[in-house]
Amino acid sequence: MSKKNQTLGEFIIENQQAFPYSSGELSRLINSIRLAAKVVNHEVNKAGLVDITGAVGDTNIQGEEQQKLDVYANQKFIQTLTNREIVCGIASEENDEYITIQGHNKDHKNKYVVLMDPLDGSSNIDVNVSVGTIFSVYRRVTPIGTPVTMEDFLQPGNLQVAAGYIIYGTSTMLVYTTGHGVNGFTLNPAIGTYYLSHPNMKFSEDGNIYSVNEGNYAQFPRGVKDYIKYCQAEEDDRPYTSRYIGSLVSDIHRNMIKGGIYIYPGSSKYPDGKLRLLYECNPMAFIAEQAGGKASNGFKRIMDIKPTELHERVPFFCGSKNMVEKAEECMRNAK
């Protein structure tokens, strides 16, 4: 049973004993993520003082203007994961192709692949609003000892062995799951230690916060427009409150703590939605389901979608179970 204020290290050791078959590599993977998060946090916290804000002048495969912090965070997570003999491959929002990691003996013996969004909410960096990092972990499916292949990355979300996020907000938190519930750890920056501050995090079945970029309302599918009108109606427990930060990690984190739904639907600009299935929707869906919530594309469970491309996008409905189901009902009825 998790004890509040346990350190992350103690929590990992205690839970490591609970999984006798895992050889500790997954624990070491989480440890390397927490280290990289401390390094990135240090840079995020002084972004305005050093030359780390603003754009680098390149665009990534997403067609987005890469921010300096996108590139910095990407480099730090790749470097930390590469140096620790745990992963055989990394896919990132900021890299067109996946990265093969041979391991020190160049024998491709490592068992895990990591897919990540190194800096989520880049549009918030220059305006001092919360940003995050999102990660998703799978066991490789191709033979150990051979180079990792695209097949190892294009696994459905229901095969994830771990997923989580770091939120660089008023405090820095690491929130993750290995399939046994969701736990949140807050970093004490003075000593560089994470403490278990939010044990066994849960989405309430109902909520009264809806998060969507209503600037795109005119382009939304009928079902989403119907659901937004439902949220705004003056009936029963409504109108709900509209909260949208523009950083998926921050919006989902708030909605998990307070109850709510996050929607990024398809629009004329992004027919399949803006969010990427592999390193935004799947990890956040794993977290949501482990916390008793729900995540779909409006019709189908996110984690059952078979990916076909590294950077593919999907419409995303995620949060309190009853709110997602009401939105899905609106999508079905609008068909």
By CB under 6 A, name the binding residues for ligand AHG.
64, 93, 117, 120-123, 213, 246-248, 251, 274
**Do residues 87 and 114 make contact, with C-beta atoms less than 8 angstroms apart?**
yes
**The two three-digit tokens of residue 230, written as one number:** 């439902």
C-alpha span between 230 and 153 (Å, rounded):
38
- Which residue's CB is nearer to Mn ion, number 120 or number 152? 120
- Which residue's CB is nearer to ligand AHG, number 7 or number 95? 95
C-alpha span between 44 and 54 (Å, rounded):
12
| Residue 251 lies near Mn ion (rule: CB under 5 A) | no
Cα angle 167, 170, 174 (rounded to 5 degrees) comes to: 30
Nearest distance in Å: CB 247, ligand AHG: 5
Nearest distance in Å: CB 249, ligand AHG: 7
- Residue 97 identity: E
CA dihedral 19, 88, 172, 260 (to 10 degrees): -70
**Which residues, 6+ apart, have CB-to-CB distance to 42 below 8 Å?**
none
- Which residue's CB is nearer to ligand AHG, number 16 or number 219? 219
Alpha-helical (H) ranges within 147-301 are 150-153, 222-232, 248-258, 282-290
Nearest distance in Å: CB 316, Mn ion: 11
Nearest distance in Å: CB 119, Mn ion: 5
Return the one option of ligand AHG, Mn ion, none that residue 247 interacts with (CB less than 5 to 8 A, by type): ligand AHG
Please identify the residue of the shown chain whose CB is closest to the bound Mn ion: 120
> CB count, 10 Å around CB of 161?
18
- Which residue's CB is nearer to Mn ion, number 64 or number 226? 64
**Which residues, 6+ apart, have CB-to-CB distance to 214 below 8 Å?**
228, 242, 244
Binding to Mn ion, residues 46-105 (CB under 5 A) = 64, 93
**Which residues, 6+ apart, have CB-to-CB distance to 85 below 8 Å?**
103, 104, 110
**Which residue in the set 81, 108, 115, 117 belongs to the binding site for Mn ion (CB under 5 A)?**
117
Return the one option of Mn ion, ligand AHG, none that residue 277 interacts with (CB less than 5 to 8 A, by type): none
Number of residues that bind Mn ion (CB under 5 A): 5
**Which residue in the set 8, 120, 220, 240 belongs to the binding site for Mn ion (CB under 5 A)?**
120
Return the one option of Mn ion, ligand AHG, none that residue 274 interacts with (CB less than 5 to 8 A, by type): ligand AHG
Interface with Mn ion by CB under 5 A: which residues?
Answer: 64, 93, 117, 119-120
